[in-house]
Structure 1
Amino acid sequence: EIPRRLFGLARNIENGGSVTIVATCLINTGSRMDQLIFEEFKGTGNSELVLDRTLAEARIFPAIDIPASGTRKEAILYSDEHNHGLATLRRVLSSYSTRGAMESLFKLLTKYPDNAEFLESMSASQ
């Protein structure tokens, strides 16, 4: 009950406003309680960044599980062209293992001077 009230706090601020909460949740610990807490709050945030232990153990950083990570309103953050590029990138990377996806992304990123050109090239390759 208390966490839900805390997350709903922004709706009750006089004259509007927002509350930003950055939280972490450790899973796969073997603890039923950890899993229940995770299941309760999964999907309640606007953005989820999922880290991958196997990437971290292989010293591949950032150790991000790309297919499992994302934001709910990605479409309003980018232009149509960049959204097409992101969709293409996600489709391509989803066919790789987590490690293969990160390694491929690193290789692709080195070919472009900035993210905008990278996403435009991904959009054009559709």
Structure 2
Amino acid sequence: MGRAYNIAAPASGRILSGGVDSAALYPPKKFFGAARNIEDGGSLTILATALVDTGSRMDEVIFEEFKGTGNMELILDRKMADKRIFPAVNVVASGTRKEEILMGTEELNIVWKLRRVLHALEPQAALELLLEKMKGTKSNVEFLMQIQKTTSGPDDSK
């Protein structure tokens, strides 16, 4: 959307690095901001994708402009996809912002413990470990309880 507006929008005269006209980013920002501005409450989920690591400075500038506007990031991993490892998700780099308002304290501590374990691994090993642990459980609660029992860390003293 950012690239399309950069091509189609009238020039404002203010060009950012990568050849992005600053006015071209306003309409996409307004669109993505709609998810937070629903009259009378309600909910709107907008799923957006960004292509990065293309070698294009424009893509990087657009990505950086919008990076902070999302509530979560799901980072796909081309190397895993090339190896036919699916879902090709870099679980170490992916995550939800403000997860502390989505979970209780106990659940959050277990999730943080899991993240520390996964962060110590390469992305492929982290995904494989996560998938293996998930296969043996039937619910999120059961999964988190298994993580709590099988990982050691600073939260075990409670």
TM-score by length of 1: 0.87
Q: Give the CA deviation at 1:80.
A: 2.5
Structure with higher RCO (Cα < 8 A, 6+ apart): 1
Distance 1:79 1:29, change over 3 A: same
Distance 1:11 1:101, change over 3 A: closer
Larger radius of gyration: 2
Q: Give the CA deviation at 1:77.
A: 2.4
Task: Decide which structure has greater helix share.
Answer: 2
Secondary structure of 1:21's match?
A: coil
Q: What are the equivalent positions in structure 2 for 1:1-126 lying under 5 Å apart?
A: 1-10=26-35, 12-124=37-149, 125=151, 126=156
What code does the residue aligned with 1:69 have?
S
Which ranges of structure 1 fall in alignment gaps of 5 or more residues? none
Which ranges of structure 2 fall in alignment gaps of 5 or more residues? 1-25
- Higher mean displacement: 67-76 or 40-49: 67-76
State the identity as a percent: 52
CA RMSD of aligned residues (A): 1.8
Report how many residues are paired: 126
CA contact under 8 A between 1:66 and 1:98: conserved in structure 2? Answer: yes
Q: Distance in 2 between matches of 1:11 and 1:64?
A: 27
Q: Distance in 2 between matches of 1:117 and 1:13?
A: 36
Q: Distance in 1 between matches of 2:38 and 2:101?
A: 24
TM-score by length of 2: 0.71
Q: Give the CA deviation at 1:27.
A: 0.7
Q: Give the CA deviation at 1:94.
A: 0.4
